[in-house]
Structure 1
Amino acid sequence: MTITGEIKSKVDKLWTTFWNNGISNPLSVIEQISYLLFIKRLDDLELLKEKKKARGLGERDNDPIFPEHKQRSRWSQFKNLSDAEEMLAIVRDEAFPFIKTLGTTGGGNAYTRHMKDAVFLIASPALLANVVTQIDSIPMEDRDTKGDLYEYMLSKLTTAGTNGQFRTPRHIIRMMVELMEPKAREIICDPACGTGGFLVAAAEYLQELEDSDGNKVLNAPGNREHFNKEMFHGFDFDGTMLRIGSMNLMLHGIEDPSIEARDSLSEDYADLKEAFTLILANPPFKGSVEKSTIAKDLTKVISTTKTELLFLPLFLRLLKNGGQAAVIVPDGVLFGSSKRMSEK
């Protein structure tokens, strides 16, 4: 993580601002910040296109992100408003509903497609004005800063542990990715992706990977497009995690990953087989699932309702021939009362 102490201090101050104004659930804080970051990102993209057009470097934009009647929803339009009440009305009643509709027409990206159940919790004009000013003061011009900044916010979930949402330590994730040495045409899946940490680490590894001549492998023909649209797949059934994970990937330079709402162990998705070359995962190994909902092919391998056992045959089913996996399992699966699974 490369962000400076100054930026960390700004993020900490932003976090404290939410807590002091009654929004104390860490997941809720990250979600509210994510909405505003996304609105800002859309405006940044629009401003970039407008600058290119002004310099004669860009074609006429026949499909702007913000149509004429939505110009008030742009970050650059509302951020300097002196009337906090007006700012809240615009963001809550115009900008936020606008980004929710972006994913309802079959278009949009992984983030907007999971916005259906999103809720804007900022009810105080003063809080919104304060937060907008703080976010606008954080430098986020390059991908590395944006990604590291978001990762720093997500690190607060590790200590908070709200709703059981603990994250795998980044150094463990990086070690697993480095052991797997992913290639430029991998098809990678995390079937319990949460905040997307494993997929992000694989992306960071590949963004730095060079061939024998010292050239970035992603610059080879077709590799960048595969990276942006076909390489990364994540599943989760928690809407908040789907949005946070999608935002995390987007801020790390992955344009349109496939992040889907699904219960990976369910019979509803039992037809997904031999689809991926690499699986990276730390699934939720606790408790049991309802037996009637479990995919029948999984219970044929082992008759159980325990997730720590069911995910193992799932990994095998999802992998292509010759595929590989790096996954975290409880020690009991290999060495304890559940050792029979390792002997199968």
Structure 2
Amino acid sequence: MLDSETKRRIDSCRDILVGKVPDPKSQVEQITIALIYKFMDDMDREAAEFGDRTFFAGEFAKYGWEQLMRPGVGGHEMLALYSEAIQKMNENAGIPELFRDIFKNAYLPYRDPETLRTFLKEINGFTYDHSERLGDAFEYLLSVLGSQGDAGQFRTPRHIIDFMVEVIDPQKGESILDPACGTAGFLISAWKHILKQNTDKKPGDKLTPDAKRKLIANIKGFDISPDMVRLSLVNLYLHGFTDPHIYEYDTLTSEDRWNETADVILANPPFMSPKGGIKPHKRFSIQAKRSEVLFVDYMAEHLTPKGRAAIIVPEGIIFQSQTAYKQLRKLLVETSLVAVISLPAGCFNPYSGVKTSILILDKSIAKQSNTIAFFKVENDGFGLGAQRREIEKNDLPRVKVELAEYLQTLRNNQPTADLQFSTGLITSKEMIAENGDYNLSGGRYGSVRQSTNQLWPFVELGSVCLQVTDGSHFSPETVNSGYPYVTVKDLDQGHIDLEGCKKINESSYKQLVSNGCKPKRGDVLFSKDGTVGKTAIVDFDRDFVVLSSLAIITPNTSQVLPEFIYCVLSSDKFISDATDNKTGVAIRRIVLRTLKSIQIPLPPLDVQKEIVAEIEGYQKVVDGARAVLDNYRPHIPIHPDWPIEKFGEVISTITPPAKIQAGDFSEVGRYPVIDQSQNAIAGRTDDESTLIDGSNGLVVFGDHTCAVKYVNEPFAQGADGIKIIQAGEQLVPKFIFFYLQSHPIEQDGYKRHFGKLKESRIPIPPIATQQAIVADIEAEQALVAANRELIERFESKIQTSLARVWGEE
């Protein structure tokens, strides 16, 4: 377990480097190299007690750690010695090949003696002690490598890795491979899993030394990046691998290891293909240029006859209609696929919002089975927002139990028809192959129920509707005034904006009406193209038509209330089911046939009325609170005795030291990156060379948007077109901010407005009066801000009520 002092020391190392080495990956590499340097010296001094030093002997003796850190060594001397040492260390014949590989191509990316001295002093606090503590410390260090890499890599969450390993259950005599190993997270989890299986009093104590050596020799990883190979070697070494087998190898274009197979493969391969695709060799079964297709093909082909695999794949593998994707799915269904686990879209936040699934392969079971199981994970124990905070809801344990039951049933050659899952369903391979596209979206073959406490019967949506149809399949010419033509963007929080939508002439309107594109009172609109799930109920009598991206749903009121259908279609559960069933390439959509087949709960009509009344009561609170937020503006009454000055004469502007470039910031840096959008925060950065000191309060003004933001912390400029306003002696910064909010500059196309702002006039109350005005407005805003929490609470109540309808609470 990572202790607080070790964590503090690693954080301190990053803090020291961040000003000179802003890239997190480079920080990790520098800390890794320094740690191994220090640990080599620790081991060498320990060996010297029983004989001579070998790591730092001969011409390399001058690079020993004690030489580097000896009292009185000058900063420039330390810099020269350390820089030379890490570049030459891979030539040291006295150190094992593992360490030479780690130092291959190592260099010092900065030339500041004081930064190096402070950094090495912190590294000096680490000591190699052969314990799991150092492995945990390095895992913590690697956790900063979350952001997506150039080759499409991103960090797999530890709990997902452990889940996959537990499902596959690798054994001590089996060969284990990750052909895109990154920092070796899967391999280490597999190692720990096997040690746990062979434990009496301490991890792995039931294994003989020879068995441990064989186990280590059986665990292999490939990666195309030398940096990742270096990190993997260190990670494995610090977890007890004296001789880790990680190779710099291009799995997709090299044939050197093509004939090697593995009993177990665990991987989250890169999803990104370079421009122009990959140029693989000709030994793949599937001829493709997409990395995700080739990696899955490689793993399916490189399992032993009884081999097993768990592979994270992007959404495209599941449904894409291009030939290579269909051929791959056909290959998997016919040879090795036994289960598909759908993961929630936020599983890889904050690094990526990509929707993923886990493919479970088992060659021996697949040969004797004519079914495939589909499981759906809606919650993985963490919130699906950017912060990924731990929550109580977690479907992974249940999925693991039900998948294990399914696999054991197949191994025992028993029928699966009687198996009942709360997180999944079983489908015949014949049904999957029926139309030739081998689609692996579980929802296509039935509704995955996730409740063991269903209060009401479940029916297909289409069975309780008189009609489910599309809107217009073409875009008529729009006019300045005429009949409203509603698209997805005109649906907002359950309401239909007939005033702000496009207009069409009478001829087009009549044609669309004849085509069935005119909703009526009681119909429900549901967005099915692109952003699935925007919903609104038609609760008025007006003439309008809708675009094909909206489905028009006409409930059968003898069975279901329109308001209840609206509530169900607005629920997280229904939107999740619909999203999982999207198809298409250029535009992702859910087709009407599939939409109608999604199962929904159907309480009696009197119960529906009670549910609707409860939810509408909550919604009124939400609408009222939202109206407060939408309509509140700070107001500053102007006293006639206050002097009024030209704005440009009482403020000054600050020029940033450097504008941060697009792509040089992420969501996880320490300092905000400000642009001129309404929300103003473009991202975050660790690059201190770009920072503006806003600790005394600055106002940021968007030269195109006229948006204003108050900043009272260090920040960086993330875009052209923002002006950073500094108050003069006569003004309080926050008074300027509130005044610009209450007296905004009018927007005029894309013209620059700062010149207009400088020519405008601003009242100059006494400083004490400005401070009092600021305090009053801040008190108002605190009351207004409470409405945000109110909205969040009552929206949560709405979803809780809906979850109860689905039988999930």
Task: Give the aligned residue type for 2:304.
Answer: K
Deviation readout 1:168-204 (Å, 9 max, x if unpaired): 1111111111222222222211111111111121222
User: Residue 78 of structure 1 is aligned with which of 60, 68, 71?
Assistant: 68
2:286–2:327 CA contact under 8 A, matched in 1: no
Give the drift of 1:110: 3.6
How is 1:76-155 mapped onto 2 (pairs within 5 angstroms)? 76-82=66-72, 83-93=74-84, 95-102=85-92, 108-113=96-101, 115-138=103-126, 140-155=128-143
Give the drift of 1:68: 3.4
Task: Give the aligned residue type for 1:320.
Answer: T
The residue that corresponds to 2:193 in the other structure is 205
Query: TM-score, normalization: structure 2?
Result: 0.38
Give the drift of 1:340: 4.8
1:157–1:165 CA contact under 8 A, matched in 2: no
Give the drift of 1:139: 5.4
Secondary structure, aligned partner of 2:97 = coil
The residue that corresponds to 2:494 in the other structure is none
Query: Separation in 2 of the partners of 1:282 and 1:204?
Result: 19
1:147–1:252 CA contact under 8 A, matched in 2: yes
Q: 1:152 to 1:263 in 2, by over 3 A?
A: same
Query: Separation in 1 of the partners of 2:161 and 2:176?
Result: 14
Query: TM-score, normalization: structure 1?
Result: 0.85
User: Residue 33 of structure 1 is aligned with which of 8, 28, 31?
Assistant: 31
Give the drift of 1:133: 0.9
User: Residue 278 of structure 1 is aligned with which of 249, 264, 280?
Assistant: 264
Is 1:7 aligned to residue 40 of structure 2? no
Task: Give the aligned residue type for 2:79.
Answer: L
Q: 1:212 to 1:23 in 2, by over 3 A?
A: closer
Secondary structure, aligned partner of 2:288 = coil
Q: Which runs of 5 or more residues in structure 1 are unaligned? A: 54-59
Query: Separation in 1 of the partners of 2:199 and 2:208?
Result: 10
Q: How many corresponding residue pairs?
A: 326
Q: 1:236 to 1:274 in 2, by over 3 A?
A: closer
Give the drift of 1:217: 5.9
Deviation readout 1:28-56 (Å, 9 max, x if unpaired): 111111111111111111122123x1xxx
Deviation readout 1:262-288 (Å, 9 max, x if unpaired): 21011x316522422211110001235
Query: Separation in 1 of the partners of 2:25 and 2:123?
Result: 18
Query: Separation in 1 of the partners of 2:77 and 2:11?
Result: 27
Is 1:241 aligned to residue 240 of structure 2? no
Deviation readout 1:154-175 (Å, 9 max, x if unpaired): 11111x4454542111111111
Secondary structure, aligned partner of 2:87 = helix
Q: 1:106 to 1:167 in 2, by over 3 A?
A: farther
Secondary structure, aligned partner of 2:173 = coil
The residue that corresponds to 1:196 in the other structure is 184
Query: Separation in 1 of the partners of 2:17 and 2:270?
Result: 29
Deviation readout 1:53-74 (Å, 9 max, x if unpaired): 1xxxxxx45x712213322211
Q: 1:215 to 1:87 in 2, by over 3 A?
A: closer
Query: Separation in 2 of the partners of 1:142 and 1:77?
Result: 24
The residue that corresponds to 2:40 in the other structure is 42
Q: 1:318 to 1:217 in 2, by over 3 A?
A: farther
Deviation readout 1:220-259 (Å, 9 max, x if unpaired): 252122234x122111111211111211111111112221
Greater helix share, 1 or 2? Answer: 1
Query: Separation in 1 of the partners of 2:273 and 2:283?
Result: 20
Give the drift of 1:336: 4.3
User: Residue 65 of structure 1 is aligned with which of 55, 63, 77?
Assistant: 55
2:57–2:94 CA contact under 8 A, matched in 1: no
Query: Separation in 1 of the partners of 2:214 and 2:225?
Result: 27
Task: Give the aligned residue type for 2:228.
Answer: M
User: Residue 334 of structure 1 is aligned with which of 318, 321, 330?
Assistant: 318
The residue that corresponds to 1:309 in the other structure is 293
The residue that corresponds to 1:269 in the other structure is 255
Secondary structure, aligned partner of 2:308 = strand
Percent of aligned pairs with the same amino acid: 31
Secondary structure, aligned partner of 1:166 = coil
Give the drift of 1:314: 0.5
2:177–2:219 CA contact under 8 A, matched in 1: yes
2:153–2:270 CA contact under 8 A, matched in 1: no
The residue that corresponds to 1:260 in the other structure is 247
1:270–1:295 CA contact under 8 A, matched in 2: no
Secondary structure, aligned partner of 2:300 = helix
2:264–2:308 CA contact under 8 A, matched in 1: yes
Q: 1:16 to 1:186 in 2, by over 3 A?
A: same
Q: 1:278 to 1:109 in 2, by over 3 A?
A: farther
Secondary structure, aligned partner of 1:329 = strand
Secondary structure, aligned partner of 1:284 = coil
Query: Separation in 2 of the partners of 1:11 and 1:25?
Result: 16
1:39–1:99 CA contact under 8 A, matched in 2: no
Q: 1:274 to 1:237 in 2, by over 3 A?
A: closer
Q: 1:197 to 1:155 in 2, by over 3 A?
A: same
Q: Which structure is larger by alpha-carbon Rg, 1 or 2?
A: 2
Q: Which runs of 5 or more residues in structure 2 are unaligned? A: 332-809
2:292–2:317 CA contact under 8 A, matched in 1: yes
Give the drift of 1:10: 2.1
Task: Give the aligned residue type for 1:87.
Answer: M
Q: 1:140 to 1:213 in 2, by over 3 A?
A: closer
The residue that corresponds to 2:330 in the other structure is 343
Q: 1:187 to 1:71 in 2, by over 3 A?
A: same
